[in-house]
Amino acid sequence: MANRYYLYLQILTASRVFIAAILAAVFVSYGVSAWTILAAAVLGGMAELTDLFDGMMARKYDLTSDFGKFFDPYTDSIARLIMFFALAQVGLVPLWLPAFMALRDVSVSYIRLFAMKSNVVMSSRMSGKVKAWAQAVGFFLLLFIGLLGRFELDVAFLVPYVALIILLITLWSLIDYAVYLFALVKKSDEHLS
């Protein structure tokens, strides 16, 4: 029975990438309109809920695994990048934001790989969770700004501010991971000496 739940959990985790891809396809196929923004909000909400529910399911059924510890953040990253690049494609966010988000996620992945190579276990950081929440909330704020623009309420001047806040929190998370890695490696080196 546990194997079936484990399989369901991985399917749920993977589903957010496919949901994000559908979101991107809606924007690319139909452009920006009130209905595509609303569809993106529903799909984005579904993607974020899968992130919430897969964690709850893993804890409830004691299905946490080393694979899940890597697969969950991987799918989070890919889904959010797809969603933000879709926003950039239709002009709802500047391209530099998802590009920097990608840089952060790749950098953190390499930081974790370096930690593993140095025999250091690197757990998730609170800054990563705060970054995820900031990106999720920012995504919906950007959609809302875009929706208001469809009804001739021009609040597009807010987009750079929302993007900058997301960028700064994302940058803080990258720095936090890097500093944490250096502290762990230094501690490990001192312990081996």
Q: Where are the domains of the chain?
A: 2-192
Average pLDDT over residues 73-90: 96
Which of 24-38, 50-64, 77-91, 137-151 is predicted least confidently?
50-64
Q: Report the alpha-carbon distance of residue 34 to residue 149 in Å, rounded.
A: 9
- Kindly tell me if the per-residue pLDDT of 138 is higher than 90: yes
- Kindly tell me if the per-residue pLDDT of 86 is higher than 90: yes
pLDDT band per the 50, 70, 90 thresholds, residue 26: very high
24, 35, 57 from 147: Cα distances, Å: 16, 9, 34
User: What is residue 70's predicted lDDT score, i.e. its pLDDT?
Assistant: 82
Specify the higher pLDDT residue, 191 or 93: 93
Which of 35-49, 156-170, 176-190 is predicted least confidently?
176-190
End-to-end CA distance of the chain: 47
User: What is residue 191's predicted lDDT score, i.e. its pLDDT?
Assistant: 65
> Which fold, 2-192?
Four Helix Bundle (Hemerythrin (Met), subunit A) (1.20.120)
Full-model pTM: 0.91
91 conformational bin, left if phi > 0, alpha if psi -120 to 50, beta if neither: left
Q: Report the alpha-carbon distance of residue 97 to residue 166 in Å, rounded.
A: 8
Q: Report the alpha-carbon distance of residue 119 to residue 37 in Å, rounded.
A: 45
Report residue 116 as tokens.
């593993």
